[in-house]
A and B are shown apart, each in its own frame.
Chain A
């Protein structure tokens, strides 16, 4: 059977490398996710819906998704601007900024969580300034938004940056020789070229934000129905040993993840067909 699937090759190590790959993939990823899915299958769609449709679950899922969407949209704009500034402009500190963009990838989420809280809490440096202005950030949905912007910050920048580097100057020059203003060139030539990469980064940031836990729970306040995110509700259900309740919400989130993965792949296939690159 293997002969039909795998082309013959003189290269050594097929069995060993494929064996390790499939064994570890099964143990670490497939079996655990399968356990959740089979749990879901055991109580059926109505069973899942019964849990998910409760007011508290719906509020948590909707909150996670809605604020993640806002955060990803802000990251879309900020990320494209950051990538543009890093590639096209020269200014002191550019290389430091370039390296710092990846900080959210490297900084543990719990550290980011307490750091943002310390900063944006009413007694923190920026929180105090916001309080002066009659505005509360930490322990409100604004706090969640800031944490999720932080978490998703590098995605758009890092997907768009290589594409900007690849743009041929001649294409921009062609637009100018045809009489287009710089603004028109940016809008009609540059932005469409960046769109597939920017959308990929947007979807990646969104996927990451929806599931984010560590950096959010410190700054969120965690008030049911108002600032309680879906991953936190799973943790709460597990602490109550309500495995069914936790699983139902977990499956809802897994479905959201799969849909996003599907969308990301779709964007890339569309982009490759249409303009020949991702």
Chain B
């Protein structure tokens, strides 16, 4: 039996080195073509005529108004969705009631609805042809083709983000700490602010971060409800489309680069949270 060739010292739970190298190279090659190359393309197209031209293209009135509009929409939509996420997570994790699974499904629903269909729904509900919309327009407060519609569309698309981060974390943490605080005589708000909030703050930040990135970049739903009025209802992504269709490549890619930077910062912060506060995030983000 001593003539059996040595099989080397490969562990039983590993692939051969050759397989490992092939798999790594294959994955890295695909990711380079799909992820890194487009990112480089954005920045190089933005800087095609030099940095000065890129920055100048962001300085004109329409571009500035787009940036302000996007920031305004985000500043309204994200805090509202954060408040919703906290309320929903509290209701779902602190109480037992029938239909809980159904409620969670409803909250997750926007993830599986096409942004364009979401916009269509809002147009049907609030558009000038509808009952509510007609009345609102007559009052001089239109929703569709105006700021409220853009906010509603953004909220629809980003609706589940915060709740989704908080629910698993709050289930895992249980409610013993809150119950302890109650027995010590603390009132409801005090329990929430001094016990719950400190425990969920990093998960909350994580959810807000993702919600914010998606809110600033939302395109399909906003495209349907905004009416794309230059200088009024054109958000940054909408402006990118308009500039691109007018062959103003540097201007389009400069604004795209701005949003790409936002995405990169979001990824960096998100990764930092995963490394630093992994134990306080949903289990699926820990690695």
Contacts and interface: CB of A to CB of B under 8 A. Distances in A.
- Do A and B share a direct contact in the complex (Cβ within 8 angstroms)? yes
A119 B41 contact: yes
A158 B27 contact: no
B204 interface: no
B9 interface: no
B37 A119 contact: yes
A106 B259 CA distance: 10
Contacts of A243: 123-124, 127, 129
A214 B109 CA distance: 20
B267 to A, nearest CB: 5
B117 A36 contact: yes
Contacts of A126: 33, 37
Contact of A107 (B31, B97, B117, B217): B217
Given A11-B178, A108-B218, A20 B87 contact: yes
Interface in B95-132: 95-99, 103, 105-118, 120-125, 127, 129-130
Given A31-B125, A35-B124, A6 B96 contact: yes
Contacts of B139: none
Contacts of A5: 97-99
Contacts of B156: 28-29, 32
Interface in A206-233: 207-208, 210-214, 218, 230-232
B86 to A, nearest CB: 8
Interface residues of A, number: 102
A41 interface: no
A191 B99 CA distance: 34
B150 to A, nearest CB: 13
Contacts of B266: 106
A177 B156 CA distance: 53
A28 B91 contact: no
Nearest to A238: B224
B26 A81 contact: yes
Given A28-B155, A82-B27, A103-B263, A110 B241 contact: yes
A253 B121 contact: no
Given A33-B109, A110-B256, A21 B88 contact: yes
A153 interface: yes
A65 to B, nearest CB: 12
B84 A81 contact: no
A103 B267 contact: yes
Contact of B107 (A25, A85, A218, A258): A25
A142 interface: no
Interface in A88-134: 88-89, 91, 93, 95, 97-112, 114-116, 118-119, 124-126
Interface string A1-42: 000011101111110111011001100111111111001000
Contacts of A85: 23-24, 27
A13 B94 contact: yes
Nearest to B266: A106
Given A28-B156, A99-B267, A172-B13, A250 B120 contact: yes
B30 interface: yes
A211 B116 contact: yes
A124 B130 CA distance: 45
Contacts of A111: 42, 217, 237, 240, 256, 259-260, 263
B171 interface: no
B71 interface: no
Nearest to B33: A126
12 contacts: A6-B98, A17-B87, A21-B88, A89-B20, A95-B271, A100-B36, A114-B240, A118-B41, A213-B220, A214-B219, A234-B120, A257-B117
Given A18-B95, A28-B156, 19 more contacts: A6-B97, A11-B95, A13-B192, A14-B95, A18-B91, A24-B84, A25-B103, A28-B155, A29-B109, A35-B130, A36-B117, A97-B31, A100-B31, A106-B210, A109-B217, A231-B220, A238-B120, A243-B124, A246-B120
